[in-house]
Amino acid sequence: MITKTFQNLRLSALGMGAMRLPVVDGNDAQIDEAEAARMVSYAMEHGINYYDTAWGYHDGNSETAMGKILAAYPWDSYFLATKFPGYDLSNMDKVEEIFEKQLEKCGVEYFDFYLFHNVCEMNVDAYLDEKYGILDYLLKQKENGRIRHLGFSAHGSREVMERFLDSYGSYMEFCQIQLNYLDWDFQDAKGKVELLNSCHIPIWVMEPLRGGKLAFLPEEQEEKLSKLRGEKTPAWAFRFLQTVPGVTVVLSGISDFEQMKENISTFEENKPLDKKEWEALLGVAGEMVKKIALPCTGCHYCVSHCPKQLDIPALLELYNEHSFTGGGFIAPMALMAVPEDKHPDACIGCRSCEAVCPQQIKISEAMADFASRLQG
């Protein structure tokens, strides 16, 4: 197992995420603890020492299961990470209550790594609001040795991350972002990497396979990559991350034993991409996005002609994400920070925007489809 240096620690380059553990009869709330324990055992034997869970994973049962499973191993043989659930605004005034409960659920006296969970458009104001005292409380726990390293995860835009870092950056030791070759341009992961590198903040990676979408590619694209390097498709996603500067830990939400073995095998070697391979992989990503995403360039001609003054480029960006993912939480979450009269269902279908769109996008149809998808 490749390891990376973080301060005075050696962390496995591959970490085990506990958001997609094996479950019983398809019930996400009922973890198959025996199978999960078998996977952790194999992970430990093969050098994984970083385990990531969170308050809400598996309907609140992930922390309990991981705490129980990891209790079988010496405390100094692994690092445990969890997060404060600020993705739910009703939790903002409960930081002490939740933190104490998390220690109890995991059966530990301290957390090696603790994160502000999912900094995004919807919650950044609340996270930064001093009345909740979240940062002060967590810094106090760090001072008392109950948190060893403090960081944050982010699904928000680069601009949201900049706001958070402007206020709390001096306290953040690491940051966890959605990073993969598809999102390098599609979600501006490139810009987020540049931001974190400029702040000298080590990067933790989530969604390296985009929820499994990058584990299998169309035959034509797989053949194109195999001619350059004879590796399986998932390995390409991990080699991409081995090429990105600043990446320390890659978290894989491993849901079955064979998947774990394959991922661990990939991380036995550090084999970053060369320039030709890098460009080929981004080309594959571009082809994948092009099939679904609308080609908005953000010129804003449409906005000046919209009687409702909708931020059409921003809405189309969210529409592209929602369409490609087939749903998900990112677009609804981002829209929570947008006034209701600026949502896609506010579009009146006048087509004034379409008359000036250089890309000839059928914006009114996209807004109607977006509104329908959100309601459905």
* Distance (Å, whole) CA 45 – CA 133: 41
Dist CA 256 CA 178 (whole Å): 21
Look at residue 304 in the predicted model and tell me its pLDDT.
Answer: 84
Q: What is the per-residue pLDDT for 257?
A: 87
What are residue 12's DSSP bridge partners? Answer: 3
Measured over the CA atoms of residue 15, residue 20, residue 24 and residue 30, the dihedral's sign is: positive
In the prediction, which pLDDT does 326 show?
79
Q: How far is CA 243 from CA 169, 212, 233, 358, in A?
A: 25, 20, 16, 36
| Spatial separation of the C-alpha atoms in residues 60 and 186, rounded to whole Å | 31
- The full set of domains in the chain, from first to last, is 3-289 (3.20.20.100), 303-375 (no CATH)
Pure H helices in the chain: 33-45, 62-70, 95-106, 124-128, 134-143, 158-168, 183-186, 189-198, 219-226, 233-243, 257-266, 275-290, 301-304, 312-325, 330-335, 363-375
What are the residues whose beta carbons fall under 8 Å from the beta carbon of 67, sequence distance 6 or more? Answer: 80, 105, 106, 107, 108
270 touches 240 (CB < 8 A): no
Structural tokens at position 125: 């104001």
* pLDDT given for residue 21 in this prediction: 92
Q: Which two tokens mark 194?
A: 């540049």
CA distance 85 to 65: 18
Using CA atoms in the order 238, 241, 246, 250, what is the torsion angle rounded to 10 degrees?
A: -40
Q: Are 13 and 255 in contact, with CB atoms under 8 Å apart?
A: no
Longest dimension (CA), the chain: 66
Cα separations in angstroms, 271 against 40, 51, 244, 329: 25, 23, 12, 33
pLDDT at residue 112, as a whole number: 98
Closest CA to 55 of 18, 22, 26: 18
The pLDDT averaged over each successive group of 10 residues in the chain (376 residues) is 97 95 90 95 97 94 97 96 94 97 97 96 94 97 98 94 97 97 92 98 94 85 89 93 98 86 94 96 89 78 90 91 82 90 94 85 92 89
Q: Which residue has the tokens 């690491």?
A: 174
If one counts every other C-beta atom within 10 angstroms of the C-beta of residue 32, the result is 16
Residue pair 269/47 in contact (Cβ under 8 Å)? The answer is: no
* Antiparallel, parallel or unpaired: β 111-119 and 27-31: unpaired
Note the pLDDT of residue 95: 97
Instruction: Read off the pTM.
Output: 0.85
Q: How many CB atoms lie within 10 A of CB 52?
A: 27
